[in-house]
Amino acid sequence: MAFRKSVGAEAFELAERPGGELLGIAARHQALDQLASEGRYAAGVLERRHCAAQLVRLRSAESPVNVPISNAERIIYPESQITKGQLADYYAAVSPIILPWIASRPISLVRCPQGRAKKCFFQKHDAGSFGEAVRHVAIEEKDGEEEPYLYIDTADGLMTCVQMGTIEFHGWGARIEDVEKADRLVFDLDPDVGLDFEAVRSAAFRFRDILKTIGLETFPMVTGGKGVHVIAPLTPRAEWPEVKDFARRLAIAVAQTEPTKFTAALPKAQRKGRIFVDYLRNQRGATAVMPYSARAREGAPVAAPITWKEMETIEGPARFHVGDQAELLKRAGLKTLSSWGRADQALPDL
């Protein structure tokens, strides 16, 4: 109740009025922003982020998408005959559940304008061709120059990217409010050719248990590719050098302790028969595929949050695909997944 008081009871009263959910959340978020600017709410970081996610979800649900999709009949996935229009339908449907994860975060796009079987490329900057719905944040590069990085915060921004041939959305581990402080750790568990999914499953639980012993709650995500991401949300306090060093030392320690199962070695020739622990997702400028992003892979799989209970039995990392939009929307509202990816925790000492 004390925290409810601190963010303004009027915000909660607004939310309880008929049709007032959006107004109430907006007022609550504004109050939390004010406390943040005064440096008075370290314990409220998670609540503020949750408000931001709710705002994005509600606004995307209430605002119709106004982006026409040209060449909707173009085949994007030749092996399954999925068209650009069908991919656009998927993203329009899941916009309320994907935007809370990718909105207001620097993103890189995997664009395949002629389909996934033809030329695809990463794009993180924009020369202005995307229009106003896709926004820019200036980020300083290593050479000291600032470059405009892409970000979106509306369903129209999402669909503009799809109209421009985007299949995949990858995001920084930080939000645009402070790109120097990470708000998550991602351990990408990538199996060597020939390893079955049982090895990945076992590796995911191993990392869950290791991170739990040092005080971090984690959440699994099947990537739609070959592996699994084990994700630890962070209160954004630690800066990138500290975060990268933590991830590197943990990955190396696990690889040294269990060298027949894990490796942190970058050269592919040194990964034979093992799980590569990709800790480099946790450095400034690195990105990871975002929840509910489609993948430019055979069968049109998507990255999807799952529970640790589901991790025990799920058949593989490409369990979900773009045809599962209704199931994914239903799953996102389940009690078991409603708090997925959210935890109020700081980077521990290692």
Provide, rounded to the nearest whole percent, the portion of the chain with pLDDT above 70. 82
Which is nearest to 280 in space by CA: 244, 256, 255, 253? Answer: 244
Other Cβ atoms closer than 10 A to 85:
15
Which is nearest to 268 in space by CA: 206, 199, 185, 190? Answer: 190
- pLDDT given for residue 14 in this prediction: 38
- 335 pLDDT exceeds 70? yes
- pLDDT given for residue 64 in this prediction: 60
- pLDDT given for residue 26 in this prediction: 43
Q: Which pLDDT band, with edges at 50, 70 and 90, does 268 fall under?
A: confident
253-264 pLDDT, tens digit per residue, is: 999 999 999 999
290-330 pLDDT, tens digit per residue, is: 999 999 999 999 999 999 999 999 999 999 999 999 999 99
Model pTM?
A: 0.84
Q: Rounded to whole angstroms, how far apart are CA atoms 206 and 198?
A: 12
- 31 pLDDT exceeds 60? no
- pLDDT given for residue 349 in this prediction: 83
Q: Which of 25-39, 103-117, 154-168, 254-268 has the lowest mean pLDDT?
A: 25-39
- pLDDT given for residue 243 in this prediction: 98
Q: Which pLDDT band, with edges at 50, 70 and 90, does 66 fall under?
A: confident
Structure tokens at 220: 């699994």
269 Cβ neighbours under 8 A, 6+ residues apart: none
Name the residue with higher pLDDT: 62 or 227: 227
Q: What average pLDDT does the structure give for the chain?
A: 87
Q: Which pLDDT band, with edges at 50, 70 and 90, does 128 fall under?
A: confident
Collapsing DSSP to helix, strand or coil, 285 comes out as coil
Q: Rounded to whole angstroms, how far apart are CA atoms 326 and 148?
A: 35
Which is nearest to 346 in space by CA: 228, 194, 181, 188? Answer: 181
- pLDDT given for residue 63 in this prediction: 54
